[in-house]
Amino acid sequence: MNARMIPKCNSLHLGILPLTVLALVFFGVWNLRRVPAGMFGHVLTVALSPCSRKDVLVLTPWLAPIIWEGTFNIDILNEQFRLRNTTIGLTVFAIKKYVVFLKLFLETAEQHFMVGHKVTYYVFTDRPADVPLVPLGTGRKLVVLTVRNYTRWQDVSMHRMEMISHFSERRFLHEVDYLVCADVDMKFSDHVGVEILSALFGTLHPGFYSSSREAFTYERRPQSQAYIPRDEGDFYYAGGFFGGSVLEVHHLTKACHEAMVQDKANGIEAVWHDESHLNKYLLYHKPTKVLSPEYVWDQKMGWPSIMKKLRYVAVPKNHQAIRNR
Ligand code: UDP
Ligand code: MN
């Protein structure tokens, strides 16, 4: 799917606009006592701007919203998720030298990630003593999960699926409603809130959101469980930001882990490791929301004008030094 293929937004025809406003005002005034305080304004605003982005794809062909700045009303969404007392788990891995990324990751998450909601950071690390003490806001806590490391960075990255799956069953299902699974070599630089939450979500990779499917770096060898033929595929999703309900994330991470175990037994490793398997899974289990590249950005891609906000951005790293390969 090409981001330049822009569907026509539904917009109120000018001829019926005055009538619609009249009807809304009449309905609104008549219904005023039944509308919660502060909501009446939204009714008019939302009704008068049914779709505020015409320059980007805002809906997948399977009718999942694609989340861009200007497509949602955060006040309405915050109210919805607060009413349900939603708790969000943010999983992040800081294995070996990657602990150096934790401080900025957590500090910026405190400023931008799910502010006003209940949040549990799950920090997976082999170096619990190196987890920085970052002051947390009310309703927010941090849990350190001590896990093993692997020699190869590819194995560290891939085994995240196994560990998230393992802890989903044993802990997360009983502790949080949603899981957000994130890379640590990143910082939050603008709002990331409940607009992302849905049963299953993935994020458009910043390098491929405007590419056609033939250009996607899917695994192309049929011997791998992550194989996707050239004539299949919707989007290319980033490995560094996905999530959903704990149950859906458990299904996803378990399936990806099992596929990687199978690949290993067959002596093959997918070209982009866990990201290849994530892409395979999301092709056959369509996400219920898709996040725009605002939610995984890399400054190397510049700042195109369709990107109104850069919310979660790669921290430049010297791969050789950090990964200690
Ligand atoms: N990671 C880690 N230690 C390592 C290698 C990777 O903790 O030695 C984790 C970390 O959370 C990182 C993620 O695995 O963000 C994915 O690896 P990386 O960010 O290096 O992959 P890239 O974003 O460059 O594809
Ligand atoms: Mn990364």
- pLDDT tens digit sequence for 97-108: 999 999 999 999
Residue 14 CB neighbour total at 10 angstroms? 7
The residue annotated as part of the active site, out of 162, 248, 269, 275, is 275
User: What token pair was written down for 8?
Assistant: 């026509």
CA-CA distance, 202 to 236, in Å (whole number)?
9
Side-chain-side CA neighbours of 71 within 13 Å: the count stands at 26
Answer yes or no: 232 catalytic.
no
- Flag whether pLDDT at 243 surpasses 70: yes
Domains of the chain, residue spans: 75-323
CA-CA distance, 161 to 254, in Å (whole number)?
7
Residues 42-49 have a mean pLDDT of 46
Q: Is the pTM of this model over 0.85?
A: yes
Q: Check residue 21 and give its pLDDT.
A: 41
> Which is higher by pLDDT, 9 or 87?
87
> Which is higher by pLDDT, 49 or 117?
117
Ligand approaching nearest to the C-alpha of 312: 2
CA-CA distance, 265 to 245, in Å (whole number)?
30
Question: Band of the pLDDT at 317, cuts 50, 70, 90?
Answer: confident
Task: Say if residues 43 and 24 touch (Cβ distance below 8 Å).
Answer: yes
Ligand 1 pocket, residues with Cβ under 6 angstroms: 93-96, 98, 153, 156-157, 183-185, 240, 323
Q: Check residue 321 and give its pLDDT.
A: 58
Give the residue whose CA is nearest to atom 3 of ligand 1.
Answer: 95
- Flag whether pLDDT at 18 surpasses 60: no
- CATH number (3.30.1600.10, 3.40.50.720, 3.40.50.1370, 3.90.550.10) of 75-323 reads 3.90.550.10
CA-CA distance, 81 to 101, in Å (whole number)?
30
Among 96, 103, 185, which residue has the most ligand 1 atoms within 8 Å of its CB, making it the best to mutate? Answer: 185
